[in-house]
Homo-oligomer: A and B are copies of this chain.
Amino acid sequence: MSELRVGYLGLGLMGKPMARNILKAGFDLTVWNRSPEKCAELQAMGAKVAANPPELARNCDVVITNVSDTPDVLQVTLGEGGLIEGLHPGLIIVDNSTIKPAASRSIYQTLKEHGVAYLDAPVSGGTLGAENRNLTIMVGGDSEPLERVLPVLQAMGKSVTHVGSSGAGQIAKAANQIMVAAQMIAEAELLVLAQKAGANPVKVIEAIKGGAAQCWTLDVKPQRLFAGNRAPGFKASLQAKDLNIVMETAREYLVGLPVTALNTQLFNAMVAYGEGDLDNSAILGTYERMNDVFLQVPEEKQD
């Protein structure tokens, strides 16, 4: 389909299905992962496996990184044994990780001095979105390299938006997480209030979900909570990690976000309690403990 040789670095819960969709779209794909056994499935599907990040960079036109956090991206990109040791003119590096916008901007500058383009391209939509090619991809960086890699991004997501210059994709992701966290916590607060004040939470959600409060969160998450399903979806530990990035960014660019600060602390507490592997909507559990009340769905009759 394309002559672009694509490299994917980081085959975690998100990276692996995203790399799979690149392969399915017909691209020549090479992969690398710190734990090499995660490469086996893609290799069986036809992907090549690079021995190390510099080799991945040398053999590809585009390398996409998808690792856990800011220090990991810095390491695999600019650190010893990182992509930087295999740079070549015309290479484009795209980062699907969610990291600090300032770090993205710094990597962009360093790579620019080597004649290499860098796009920050964090995604939203969770593992399911990654599997179903249903991700929202928010891109920061220059237009020319984005045009070249657009078919690769479109192989992974339904919506690709060029938000602005380097770092703007990460800022959009931070904005996204501010809203998502606010909705998860509002959902938890309204459910415990309904429960304690003696209304049927199922009916309360039914009454409000189509009005001014309408959101994807209320469309999807209460039904899972009512069914006792708190499995991820989107892990609370990642929600907490992303919120801590938001707060570091807010400090870096001098802006006060009091409500997101509080939301961050609540997700930190949830992770501290050992529930980081649950869905972000399971922040409800923090409120249940705090208020000594547990979500109950009455039998089918008026409460």
Q: Which residues of B contact A217 (CB under 8 A)?
A: 212, 215
Contact with B along A17-32 (1 / 0, CB 8 A): 0000000000000000
Give Cα distance in the complex from A191 to B58, angstroms. 40
B208:A216 contact, CB within 8 angstroms? no
A14 to chain B, nearest CB (A): 14
Within 8 A of B (CB), among A62-107: 101
Q: Is A40 part of the contact surface with B, judged by Cβ < 8 Å?
A: no
Q: Name the one of B159, B194, B252 contacting A211, with C-beta atoms under 8 angstroms.
A: B159
A186:B190 contact, CB within 8 angstroms? no
Interface segment, A110-118, A148-156, A171-179? A171-179
Q: Which residues of B contact A125 (CB under 8 A)?
A: 211-212
Interface segment, A5-13, A49-57, A259-267? A259-267
Q: Is A210 part of the contact surface with B, judged by Cβ < 8 Å?
A: yes
Q: Name the one of B162, B213, B216, B266 contacting A259, with C-beta atoms under 8 angstroms.
A: B266
Within 8 A of B (CB), among A102-136: 124-126, 136
Q: Which residues of B contact A255 (CB under 8 A)?
A: 192-193, 196-197, 291, 293
- Asked if A167 meets B207 with Cβ closer than 8 Å, knowing A212-B234, A215-B215, the reply is no
A194 to chain B, nearest CB (A): 6
Q: Is A275 part of the contact surface with B, judged by Cβ < 8 Å?
A: no
Q: Is A218 part of the contact surface with B, judged by Cβ < 8 Å?
A: yes
Interface size on A, residues (CB 8 A): 77
Q: Is A254 part of the contact surface with B, judged by Cβ < 8 Å?
A: yes
B171:A194 contact, CB within 8 angstroms? yes
- Asked if A175 meets B162 with Cβ closer than 8 Å, knowing A208-B138, A212-B180, A259-B262, the reply is no
Copies in the complex: 2
A259:B186 contact, CB within 8 angstroms? yes
A270 to chain B, nearest CB (A): 13
- Asked if A172 meets B193 with Cβ closer than 8 Å, knowing A179-B183, A212-B234, the reply is no
Q: Is A271 part of the contact surface with B, judged by Cβ < 8 Å?
A: no
For A134, the closest partner residue in chain B by CB is: B211
Q: Is A61 part of the contact surface with B, judged by Cβ < 8 Å?
A: no
A212:B124 contact, CB within 8 angstroms? yes
For A189, the closest partner residue in chain B by CB is: B257
List 30 interface pairs A-B (beta carbons < 8 Å), by A numbering: A124-B213, A136-B207, A136-B212, A161-B206, A163-B200, A163-B203, A163-B207, A164-B199, A164-B302, A164-B303, A165-B303, A167-B198, A168-B199, A168-B200, A174-B190, A175-B191, A175-B194, A176-B190, A179-B183, A182-B259, A183-B213, A189-B259, A192-B257, A193-B249, A196-B253, A197-B252, A212-B216, A213-B215, A256-B290, A262-B262
- Shortest beta-carbon contacts, A-B, top 9: A215-B215, A182-B186, A136-B211, A175-B190, A161-B207, A179-B213, A171-B199, A164-B303, A214-B216
